[in-house]
Structure 1
Amino acid sequence: MSVNMVKGQRLSLEKQGGGQLTLVRMGLGWDAIKKKGLFGSRERDIDLDASCVLFADQQPVDAVYFGHLVSDDGSIRHTGDNLTGAGDGDDESIIVDLTRVPVHVTQIIFTVNSFQGQTFQEVDNAFCRIVDETNGQELARYTLSGGGPNNAQIMAKLYRHGDGWKMSAIGEPANGRTFTELMPALAAHL
């Protein structure tokens, strides 16, 4: 059963029936808002980019995004860049093998941004979700609502908690065309 998360909510990453998750996918989906004009409605391509930054305590140690599709240690993989938002379901995904994440990595923060600078006022049906990749079961979904003049959002983070991992929905609007431009904003969520 999937949980519809709200901003700031925390979720323990455990399998139904017990046990820790081992392989999760953070999916990002969106559509362009249809604009009505004199000659009917039209849709402008929206290029959102999913990224994640790996932290050892407060220090960034790696990042996975459209230009670096696999973490240096191989535990995290981006499935590729979607330039339009076309299609149903996840438009971009980042797959995390929690069993392979190095022990010094304590947090993984997921972001979404528009490299072309388009704002969330131009985006519809945006969401992020976490899926148990071993069986395809959606565990949690977070709707990226609010529109607004921002071109980025700090979506969520995975963080170590005892022997396992937890997820926190952040949903914080930000501005930055790349995850590197979001680094000052990420510091508030470490």
Structure 2
Amino acid sequence: MALTLSKNQSISLEKEAGTGLSKLSLGLGWDPVKAKGFLAKLVGGGNNEIDLDASCIILDADYEAIDLVWFRQLKSKDGSIQHSGDNRTGEGEGDDETIFVDLQRLPAQAKHLVFTVNSFTGQNFGQVENAYCRILNEANNKEIARFNLAEKGNHTGVVMASLSRGANGWEFKAIGQATSGRTVDDLIGLAVRAVRA
């Protein structure tokens, strides 16, 4: 059974998934808050589409960004990380956007993968519910861990989680740090601080 992590909690992927973990995916899901009450019914509930964007910032051992994967660049330069594509509504069941990682193909200088989510259109997280990220073992499609983001507010971005390569393998950390960034470029500085903490 998958673990549900709290903010700032870390796990060893090797301990949770077993040895031989080579491919994984990070799924991100969210739902737009449904309008309630008589007025909402009268006007048809308003626009319930929320366009959030999942991204991955690849950092080296010195915490310098060496690559980005996001809706404008769906694949890392070396091809080891791929994005499923932009979901502009948040509607439907399951993951809305997925980032696939081939751990064996990652370049040696990639030490930290930081997963972020932001609202390019400026909609804030007060308009979002049921936001989560989860990490899956691609070999058997089993969920290893999940981080549910309950924090609502006027922020437009969140540094969700990180994967860091250490002497004992990969460690997954739930972060959940809110920010006002609207693109992945806006979140790089905060992502570095969150990973170093």
Report 1:32-47 matches (<5 A).
32-36=32-36, 37-38=38-39, 40=41, 42=45, 43-47=47-51
AA matched with 2:188: M
C-alpha separation in 1, matches of 2:32 and 2:179: 19
Report 1:1-190 matches (<5 A).
1-14=1-14, 18-36=18-36, 37-38=38-39, 40=41, 42=45, 43-57=47-61, 58-162=63-167, 164-189=169-194, 190=196
Q: What secondary structure, in the 3-state scheme, does the structure 2 residue paired with 1:14 have?
A: helix
Using the TM superposition, give the Cα deviation of residue 77 of structure 1 relative to its aligned residue in structure 2, in angstroms.
Answer: 0.3
TM normalised by structure 1 equals 0.95
C-alpha separation in 2, matches of 1:161 and 1:115: 33
- After superposition, the C-alpha distances for 1:63-94 in whole angstroms (9 at most, x for unaligned) are 00011000000100001100000110000000
What percent of counterpart residues are identical?
45
Q: Which has the higher helix share?
A: 2
Moved over 4 A (4+): none
Task: Indicate conservation of the 8 Å contact 1:5/1:169, yes or no.
Answer: yes
C-alpha separation in 1, matches of 2:53 and 2:29: 10
Unmatched runs of 5 consecutive residues or more in structure 2: none
Q: 1:38 to 1:106 in 2, by over 3 A?
A: same
Range 177-186 or range 22-31, more displaced: 177-186
Q: What secondary structure, in the 3-state scheme, does the structure 2 residue paired with 1:130 have?
A: strand
Using the TM superposition, give the Cα deviation of residue 170 of structure 1 relative to its aligned residue in structure 2, in angstroms.
Answer: 0.5
Q: 1:39 to 1:143 in 2, by over 3 A?
A: closer
Using the TM superposition, give the Cα deviation of residue 39 of structure 1 relative to its aligned residue in structure 2, in angstroms.
Answer: 5.1
- After superposition, the C-alpha distances for 1:141-185 in whole angstroms (9 at most, x for unaligned) are 100111111010000000001152111110111111101011221
C-alpha separation in 1, matches of 2:173 and 2:3: 12
TM normalised by structure 2 equals 0.92
Q: 1:185 to 1:39 in 2, by over 3 A?
A: closer
C-alpha separation in 1, matches of 2:103 and 2:174: 18
Using the TM superposition, give the Cα deviation of residue 16 of structure 1 relative to its aligned residue in structure 2, in angstroms.
Answer: 5.6
AA matched with 1:127: Y
Q: What secondary structure, in the 3-state scheme, does the structure 2 residue paired with 1:90 have?
A: coil
Unmatched runs of 5 consecutive residues or more in structure 1: none
Using the TM superposition, give the Cα deviation of residue 18 of structure 1 relative to its aligned residue in structure 2, in angstroms.
Answer: 3.1
Task: Indicate conservation of the 8 Å contact 1:20/1:164, yes or no.
Answer: no
AA matched with 2:32: A
